[in-house]
A and B are shown apart, each in its own frame.
Chain A
Amino acid sequence: MIETNELTKIFTIKKSADITAVQDLTLSIPKGEVFGFLGPNGAGKTTTIRMLTSLIAPSSGTARINGYQVGVDDTDVRRSVGILTESPGLYERLSAYRNLAIFASLYDVEDVDGQVSKYLHMLGLWSRRDEPAGSFSKGMRQKLAIARALLHEPKVLFLDEPTSGLDPEAARLVRSFIEGLRGEGRTIFLCTHNLTEADRLCDRIGIFKSHLIEVDTPENLREKFYGRRVVFHLRQLNPAWVDQVRGIAGVKDAQAVEQKLVVGMENPEELNPQIIRLLVGAGADIEFVGELRHSLEEIYIQTMQESEEQEVAA
């Protein structure tokens, strides 16, 4: 669905000062995947989206969207994708209905009234369809902008900060809507600073700062950075048990944290029963056992730090 090969964008501000916004981005995002594109402000995320939606031309490299080549089949690329820009960008003096009807017509939608009505109903805006978009709350504007991106039923959807600035309730509604879209088999390219949201919605994550630093599923990234860790909550912890657990083959490390024993290992499903038997045999009262999940935020911060260290070293 989305294929890029060494996609690069260099902005020439002055003859002597080139800024590389995106460098050698190589990605393959299959149909139906929700891909999270994470990075700090100014990392080149919006530039990437603009290239992939044929809004700006790449300086080098190639990109294919739905089989259409960016820079060659630009009209087809734009026709086959939907985009939610960072700012909703609505016509504030026009009604919600008119806002959508204009875009449905520009996308050559056959049943303009039907599609507009469908999405206004779906996003709970039908009763306010005749009101000017300028009178809408931020959440409603965002919903209207999402509806606008979907009117022509695009197979690929680019969402730039879809829940930015929304209250928790509105953000939740938008997230549920995105989850629904995934269920319809659409490919979603999601830029967000909300890492919890990315963790929840995305099949894979790309961490990006001018170039792609990491790309994998959230679970694989956790494993890569921290391995799998299991926490054994004990009524009382005997320090001797830590060494005994370390002695089990397959255990990478074990440490005591208050009354908890935190054990790093590759395959908890296989080793947990063995550890539990050891602890119970040693007289431990196990209150409960759970896998320690590092947040995506921790992974993101660590990735960025490592990237900066590498840049400084280079």
Chain B
Amino acid sequence: MKHIKIIIRKEWSEVFKNRLVLFTLIFMPLIFTLMPLVMLYFTGGDVMGDVGSLETADVPAEFLSVCSPDMTGAECMQIYVMNEFLLMFMMMPVIIPVTIAAYSIVGEKATHSLEPLLATPVTTAELLAGKSLAAGLPAILIGWASFGLFLIGLPILGVSKAVIDYITGPTWLLAVLVAGPLMAIASVNLAIFVSSRVNDPRVAEQISGVMIVPILALIFAQLAGLIVINVMTMLSFIGGMALLDVGLIYLGASIFQREKILTRWK
């Protein structure tokens, strides 16, 4: 455990000195948190005028399943719109670890600092755990912190109790507290795999960006009216992501071996 902590501290002290990584860590969560708040403010009944007085009957039928009967049309619309932003909160744990892992692993390849590190008594499992946690933990914590900030902003902006109740309900909590970390794990392991094949952190970052595809699929599926994001959808997504994690962890662990790193990583 001691070695893992040292590796995490080392990763953070070096990676966080990189301005591009810092930018991703600070501005992206800020933007992803402010955007839904701004959207909620402008779709609120007071601001929307006529649109704000939409009746439930005016909302497309597929949205109604997530709205309770006592909600107004505007509240139901806000929940629909927020469901799209929920996916942004799920994107954070994907994008942040990719950036950190790409710079931490490809960066070490570029400076040839992996070999001295591999020559220490640290086990490969400790090294992999240290690097994975260093990339994954900030993403999960920042994702949760952004969600906390978002929750604080809801009553301040006068968002109705019905909408707040929905956002603090099981669909969102499952997405932020369970799906988010699972996405982060998948993202880290994919980034490790990609980093073993490329020599430029930006290329690693771009290729690992493929991890946002499942989230984009959810966004577009909901926009197209194919699915509605609710507890069942989220549980299915979590199940699929857990399976993907098992496969990607296996892939990450099999590629992150001393001999392979030294002799096969390009």
Contacts and interface: CB of A to CB of B under 8 A. Distances in A.
Contacts, number: 74
Contact of A55 (B6, B10, B119): B119
B134 to A, nearest CB: 13
B259 A56 contact: yes
Contacts of B122: 106
Residue picked from B6, B117, B120, B259, most chain A C-beta under 10 Å: B120
A106 B6 contact: yes
B118 interface: yes
A256 interface: no
A106 B10 CA distance: 11
A85 B115 CA distance: 7
A50 B121 contact: no
Given A55-B262, A94-B14, A89 B115 contact: yes
Interface in B1-38: 2-3, 6-7, 9-10, 13-14, 17-18
A28 interface: no
B258 A106 contact: no
A92 interface: yes
B116 A103 contact: yes
Interface string B44-80: 0000000000000000000000000000000000000
Contacts of A11: 263
Interface in B193-222: none
Contact of A98 (B7, B13, B112, B115): B13
A13 B114 CA distance: 22
A220 interface: no
B115 A55 contact: yes
- B interface, over-half SS: helix
Interface in B161-186: none
Interface residue tally on A, bucketed by range: 20 to 34
Interface in B73-116: 111-116
Given A55-B259, A57-B259, A78 B120 contact: yes
B233 interface: no
Interface residues of B, number: 27
Nearest to A148: B116
A98 B117 CA distance: 14
B114 A55 contact: no
Given A55-B118, A55-B262, A75 B123 contact: yes
Contacts of B6: 102, 105-106
Interface of A: 11, 50, 53, 55-57, 75-76, 78-79, 81, 83, 85-94, 98, 102-103, 105-108, 145, 148
Given A83-B119, A91-B111, 17 more contacts: A50-B262, A55-B119, A55-B262, A81-B119, A85-B115, A89-B112, A89-B113, A89-B115, A89-B116, A89-B117, A90-B111, A93-B18, A94-B13, A102-B6, A106-B121, A107-B121, A148-B116
Q: State the 9 A-B residue pairs at the shortest beta-carbon distance, nearest first.
A: A87-B112, A89-B113, A89-B112, A93-B17, A106-B120, A79-B121, A56-B259, A83-B119, A85-B115
Interface of B: 2-3, 6-7, 9-10, 13-14, 17-18, 111-123, 258-259, 262-263
